Amino acid sequence: MLVDSHVNLHGEKFANDCDAVVARAIEADVGSMLNICCKISDYNDVIAIADRYPNMWASVGTHPHDAKENPNITADQLIALAQHPKVIGIGETGYDFHYGYSSEEEQIHNFKAHIIAARETGLPLIIHTREADELMMGTLKDAIKEEGPFAAELHCYTSGAALAEWGADQGFYFSVSGILTFKNAHEVRALAKAMPDERIMLETDCPYLAPVPHRGRRNEPAYVSEVCQALADVKGWSFDETAQKTTDAFFDLFTKATRPETDA
């Protein structure tokens, strides 16, 4: 069984054929999916998708690009939304200064609220980080120093080796995407090779980042099999071994999720 640990199925790109997309994923042995909340205003749509399908889970959070939508968000607001039985993680959240859609101040406030919510709920923090390695490491170090360790995932990791090594030392999990299949993604493959074998997961981040040979088209969860093969090639594992390790990692991290009986 495969798990797609990061999908975005509630958006307009899947509005007309979501049932068919999920059916293709199931046909491709994708047994579970985590539908990610990037805006609090999308929360109800995210939950609706999770409720619609068996073995579909959800998160609650604000992407750093959208921190400006909730500049004064509180941990209590996130904690309340996380009570839904399908919500298994907090995020995605973090820092991204590539486009500057939200200010540094807005992103820092948002991220700190999410960290508190993750700690209070016991749910893993789903972290997005881009062009922010120093600030990201500093914020996480401060949070751990002040209140102790917490569970977290560095999703679709493409940042620096130093942050990855430090995150691995903290017991954080990682997820890899279709970027592994891109011709020139040599640094990303090197990072993946060094990631902890028992703490690495697969994702598509659909509808974005379609892997080769689907690159340039809308991505979908069925294509996580290409990500699995790419990681197998990087790690020197078989496809089945990679599927098992990454599936185990998902359920080891997201303990609120129920593992399908077919993969028990």
Which residues are CB-contacts of 170 (< 8 A; sequence separation ≥ 6)?
140, 144, 149, 152
**Cα gap 7→46, rounded to integer Å:** 10
What is the architecture of the domain spanning 2-258? Alpha-Beta Barrel (3.20)
Residue 33's DSSP bridge partners are 4, 56
Q: Where are the domains of the chain?
A: 2-258
Contact 123, 82 (CB under 8 A): yes
pLDDT of residue 264: 43
Instruction: Give the residue from 148, 31, 54, 158 showing the smallest Cα distance to 96.
Output: 158
Contact 175, 5 (CB under 8 A): yes
Sheet holding 87-96, edge to edge: 2-7, 30-35, 56-60, 87-96, 125-130, 152-154, 173-176, 200-202
Low-confidence ranges of the chain (pLDDT < 70): 262-264
Instruction: Give the residue from 35, 22, 110 showing the smallest Cα distance to 71.
Output: 110
pLDDT of residue 262: 64
Q: What is the reported pTM? A: 0.97
Using DSSP, state whether 80 is helix, strand or coil.
Answer: helix
**Cα separations in angstroms, 159 against 11, 75, 128, 189:** 26, 26, 10, 12
**Cα separations in angstroms, 218 against 11, 204, 208, 214:** 12, 11, 7, 8
**Cα gap 163→141, rounded to integer Å:** 11
